[in-house]
Amino acid sequence: MKTLLIISCLFLYRAAPGQPTLKVFAFSQEAVPGIVAKNVTDENGKPVERKKEPAANYYIFAGYSTSMKITIGDLWISGKMYRVFVKPVDSTPVIHINDNDPKAPVRELLVPSTPLRVVEITVKDMVAEKNKRPSWLISMIRNSDLVVSWYYKGKKYFTGVRKFKKLLPQMAI
């Protein structure tokens, strides 16, 4: 009897579909501005305070099984929701070349060679959220630098990345 119970449990375990997996590769790169103008005045001759904060470039990729049909939804970066543009990557590995020093460019591996289908996710514009989010999603967004929403077979899933991997800064001229 115990053997029958164990065999049926193993069968049910193998037959139960699990959540599909989406592997996210997330990188941020500080873009250091060039020379910031000083002593700028407005049309009335009053000085204008300009604080040039370093911007960030985001390189986000997602990999999933070639047998799956996945649609990427929105994403949250540091708690702010963005729309995205998704395009397939032709081949892996994906390498980023930082040419701050043209004599010695630095090659950084973003996505290793993989049999997965890989897409590049580009941030389009920030969106004001209208829908109320469940508490578990609020917690996920609060504890992750990046959260990606995606759809598989009509069901919405979320994948979080706790911290972006930092790339060497991009220097402006």
pLDDT in tens, 121-152: 999 888 887 778 889 998 999 999 999 999 99
Instruction: Indicate the domain borders of the chain.
Output: 21-171
Token pair of 30, please?
Answer: 């500080």
pLDDT band at 17 (very low <50, low <70, confident <90, very high): low
Helix/strand/coil (H/E/C) assignment for every residue in 105-171 = CEEEEEECCCCCEEEEEEEEEECCCCCCCCHHHHHHHHHCCEEEEEEECCEEEEEEECCCEECCCEE
pLDDT band at 11 (very low <50, low <70, confident <90, very high): very low
Q: Which of 58, 66, 57 lies closest to 148, judged by CA?
A: 58
- pLDDT at residue 173 tops 60: no
More confident position, 105 or 156: 156
Token pair of 31, please?
Answer: 């873009």
Q: Which of 2-11, 88-97, 107-116, 119-128 has the lowest mean pLDDT?
A: 2-11
Query: In sequence order, what are the beta bridge partners of 92?
Result: none
Token pair of 127, please?
Answer: 């969106």
- pLDDT at residue 168 tops 70: yes
Q: Which of 61, 129, 117 lies closest to 91, judged by CA?
A: 117
Q: How large a percentage of the chain has pLDDT more than 70?
A: 82
Please spell the DSSP secondary structure of 7-74, one letter per residue. Answer: HHHHHHHHHS------EEEEEEEEEE--PPP-S-B-TTS-B-----PPEEEEEEEEEE-TT--EEEEE
pLDDT in tens, 30-65: 877 666 667 777 788 888 776 665 678 899 999 999
- pLDDT at residue 15 tops 80: no
